[in-house]
Amino acid sequence: MNLFSIFLIFSCFVLSAQKNHLSNKAESVLGIQKIYDKELFSMKQSLKELNENGDPRDHYHWNKRLANLYYSRINSAPRTDKVKYWFKYCTQLLLAGENIKCINEIENLLQKQKLSYDDLIDKSNLPLIKLLALAYFRLGEADNCQNNHNEFSCILPLKEEAYHNKKEGSKKAIEIYSKIYDKFPENSFKWILNLAHMTIGEYPNQVPKKYLLKYPNWKNEKKDFPRFNEIGMNLGIAQDGLSGGVSLEDFNNDGLIDIFITSYGMSDQCKLFINTGNGFDDNTKDAGLEGIVSGLNCIHADYDNDGDIDIFILRGAWLGKGGSHPNSLLRNNGDGTFIDVTQKAGILSFHPTQTAAWADVNNDGFLDLFIGNESKNEQSHPCELFINQKNGSFLEESKKYNLGFIEGFIKGVVFGDINNDNWPDLYISVMGGNNMLFKNEFGIFKNISSSSGVEKPIFSFPTWFWDVNNDGYDDIFVASYDERNLKNISGDFVKELEGEIITSTKSKLFLNNGDETFKDMSKIFNIDKSLYSMGSNFGDLDNDGWLDFYIGTGSPEFTSVIPNRMFRNINGETFEEVTSAGGFGHIQKGHGVGFADLDNDGDQDIYAVLGGAFEGDNYPNICFENPISNNYWVVLKLEGVVSNKSAIGTKIKLELENGETLFHSINTGGSFGGNSLQAEIGLGKNKYINTLTVYWPNSKAQVFKDIKGKKKYLLKEGNKSLIEIKFKNTKLPKNRLSHLRN
């Protein structure tokens, strides 16, 4: 037993290995300044060099490289350090997805020492036995959910089609976790133990009573909500990768919504899937995007007003100094290809980030770009505001607009209009600090964070503006993400299911009072929950005119296997959870989320990027096809003339035949994920729009009468009439899973 006493120094069995080595890390971003100073900058070459030359100690997600590093030190290290490096080696094997190697290393050692699992169930050896248990659990995932993936995999509550055919991993995990829980009855162990039973069809009847989790809160979900169809694999768009972003948009102007995605890994290729009407084609190579790799998030807009939607990719988040990577501005050439113009456009910089937003902050008819950079642990990375010069280039002018020297661990930035003055205001989500709201006073920003009442929660992640109650004023949602409790996310989830008190940070919904102040309505709207959201977005699931939202959950921890979640807006008065009923409870880590009508049938489908930060935590992305068709809708494609071409910042007011009034703003949704910029608006049971009012940012409002629903229209700023656009017929899968609906 003395061999394992050194493990007392490890308080966290997965991430401690990363934390300990970062204190003495080397300068790893080799050649950055040299690359920056080149007369002709090559983004593809820069990304290639970063991937090849980086020090793995600066990149906790380079797990195979770290495993090799620690393995090389086992023999050369002093006797007292050998076990430490061996444990780090095993940890990195697990994080790299080398589950069998990790298991064999630990099992062989136990065999040599003639030790049983019971011998390790004490505080000194707990990190080791937890590592082994988790390796078996992940082996079950890899053998079944990944290598034999289907549309039911990993979606709670598990259907029979999702049960594991190869049961060894889950059975061994159950054996070991049962022993651990008997001595250390923590909720996180209880959750994974129940989950392992679920994967082999033993839940709930074959789970011993002392381990059984009943999750009554999910059983109370409404049963009349239809199950959404997961069709990503059948469409060929279930791209396997790590955490990343998504932009849903018509990139080739053919009337069909396409898909652009990114993935966190430094060698992970960005992907462009073109919607053909019969499915999706991988157009990455033909679009000239090969070599454009990595990216934790992406946002889209027509920054040069040429009529084609461009893409901005964000990189380096969470990596601190090791994350000083260049972002990418990809200009759409209008011929099916893209070109990187980052340096030419004047926005090349090197900061860790994952969040940015487009808006016309000075109302000159061209979109500007605000980037929220990550400052942490004495590393200064101020946020940036790039002002569009109307010639394809930008100038960094944050100081001029009173947004200079904004620092913090910035996780979300969004623009909205809190007072309906047609000047976009800015909200910033800061993890570990007060969130910030800046009022745009005719092009100069004023910090009104304190007086507006929207500084909380202290630990937050994605955020957005939306009119949740259809009163004509932008409200604010901020998703919680308590980084102090990442080891126990599963434990918090168990507490919620069983109705226990949760002390970690809760999400916030702030309703706009109409006087530049807000009221916290989280409890009344039933979303004061510890959601641990990394990516999320909003849309209208059932075309009733009220905005719903999807939450992608998780953390880098391998034990963070809680379901992603969906919340349905009930008449602007509260939210009800439809995670289980709608088939949204995917337990793989969720990031970029987009709502858009992918199949041209009038309702919004959902695309979500899944996968974690470590090499072994990859997973295929998912696409939910919307089966709800009992309400009316309208699609509006707006084109600015005096205002920016994308019409970002435009507000729409719809007065319906039943007397109700709806509001819609043109934007891409949340701060992590990108909806289409075309306005897809549910009308409920209303066949007609009595009055449609469009409030352009840079011109007078336009009013239109008697608009028919279930149609798509084009409106160019200043035109006196709407132009009906004929929907293209699509042949994407429909109602394939109707037999599963409640």
Strands (E), 271-424: 271-275, 280-282, 297-301, 310-314, 328-332, 338-340, 353-359, 368-373, 384-388, 394-396, 410-416
Selection from 110, 91, 96, 127 nearest residue 7 by Cα? 127
pTM of the full structure: 0.93
Low-confidence ranges of the chain (pLDDT < 50): 1-39, 735-742
Distance from C-alpha of 332 to C-alpha of 302, rounded to nearest angstrom: 9
- Sorted by sequence, the CB contacts under 8 Å of residue 596 that are 6+ apart come out as 248, 249, 257, 539, 604, 605, 607, 675, 676, 678, 680
Distance from C-alpha of 247 to C-alpha of 675, rounded to nearest angstrom: 6
Give the DSSP per-residue string, 119-154: GG-STTTHHHHHHHHHHHHHHHIIIIIITT--TTTT
**What's the token pair of residue 730?**
């699509």
What integer pLDDT is reported at residue 220 of this predicted model? 52
Among left, alpha and beta (phi > 0; psi -120 to 50; other), residue 289 is alpha
CB neighbours of residue 345 within 10 Å: 22
Measure CA of the first residue to CA of the last residue in the chain; give whole Å.
Answer: 54
What integer pLDDT is reported at residue 223 of this predicted model? 61
What integer pLDDT is reported at residue 13 of this predicted model? 36
Among left, alpha and beta (phi > 0; psi -120 to 50; other), residue 222 is beta
Helix (H) or strand (E) holding 512: strand 508-512
What integer pLDDT is reported at residue 135 of this predicted model? 98
Amino acid at 83: V
What integer pLDDT is reported at residue 381 of this predicted model? 96
Amino acid at 197: H
Q: What is the pLDDT of residues 586-614, one digit of tens each?
A: 999 999 999 999 999 999 999 999 999 99
Give the DSSP per-residue string, 4-60: GGGGGG-SSTTTHHHHHHGGG-----TTHHHHHH-SS--HHHHHHHHHHH--GGG-T
Q: Residue 395, SS3?
A: strand
